[in-house]
Chain A
């Protein structure tokens, strides 16, 4: 588990509320409204599925981006640590050289 604060924006896709329309052409009979209800119900259910897919895809991509950032940060921290080690060792080498020279 690795926890950190990211500055990436969290903006999942904005979906609209599903419509539920009354037909303005009521005089064409109840079949017309029944068909509209049936088709609109199916369209709304399809829309809900697509909305959930969009949110999931966004969450996946966001998580991948954040993981990559974390990994890059950790790699850079590792490199910094190695650079520090190299400098410390160089210092020790210098002091050793100095002492060897003095006591020769």
Chain B
């Protein structure tokens, strides 16, 4: 059996450490993919020397890879922040809803008990009235 505390706060969703690690690793990946030397090799042709055109094209490819990788890292971080915010909101809303439901139930019970007590009182008053008449 698990002990449950219905109003226990949820643990923090995504840890800041994991989010930072994802950011760092994606940035590192972007820079690795954006190394012009890595991008130059695919333009090598057997029997032809490398020229300015290949170097230029490799530089363009590298820049594109870096830009796309960095954009992906930042988008990922934004998505994580959004997930944390929305999860926190959802958890708070659920907690508030639960508290309201418990309060309503308590109110309903108190009302029902009072009505029953009133009914008993009426019956006894009726009986006494009958006896004394």
Give A contacts to B, CB under 8 Å: 1-8, 10, 31, 34-35, 38-39, 41-42, 44-46, 48-49, 52-53, 56, 59-60, 63-64, 66-67, 70-71, 74-75, 78, 81-82, 85-86, 88-89, 92-93, 96, 99-100, 103
Chain A binding surface SS class: helix
A-B contact pairs, 30 of them (CB 8 A): A2-B7, A3-B3, A31-B37, A31-B38, A34-B32, A35-B33, A38-B25, A39-B29, A41-B28, A41-B29, A42-B22, A45-B18, A45-B22, A45-B24, A52-B13, A59-B10, A60-B91, A63-B91, A70-B6, A71-B98, A74-B105, A78-B105, A81-B112, A82-B112, A85-B113, A89-B116, A89-B123, A92-B123, A92-B124, A99-B127
Q: Do A1 and B5 touch (CB < 8 A)?
A: yes
Complex CA distance for A49 and B16, rounded to whole angstroms: 10
Q: Which among B2, B4, B22, B37 has the highest number of chain A CB atoms within 10 Å?
A: B4
Instruction: Give the number of residues in B that approach A within 8 Å (Cβ atoms).
Output: 51
Q: Do B109 and A64 touch (CB < 8 A)?
A: no
Q: Which B37-60 residues sit within 8 Å CB-CB of chain A?
A: 37-38
Chain B min CB distance to A35 (Å): 6
Contact of B18 among A41, A49, A78 (CB under 8 A): A49
Complex CA distance for A64 and B98, rounded to whole angstroms: 9
Complex CA distance for A89 and B120, rounded to whole angstroms: 6
Complex CA distance for A7 and B22, rounded to whole angstroms: 37
Q: For chains A and B in complex, what number of residue pairs have CB atoms within 8 angstroms?
A: 139
Known A-B contacts A41-B25, A56-B14, A67-B98; the reply to A96 vs B126 at CB < 8 A is yes
Q: What residues of chain A lie closer than 8 Å to B85, measured between beta carbons?
A: none
Chain B min CB distance to A41 (Å): 4
Contact of B90 among A8, A53, A60, A100 (CB under 8 A): A60
Bits for B90-133, please: 1 = Cβ < 8 Å to A, else 0. Answer: 11001000100110010011001100100110011011001100
Q: Do B116 and A86 touch (CB < 8 A)?
A: yes
Complex CA distance for A92 and B33, rounded to whole angstroms: 86
B71 adjacent to chain A (CB < 8 Å): no
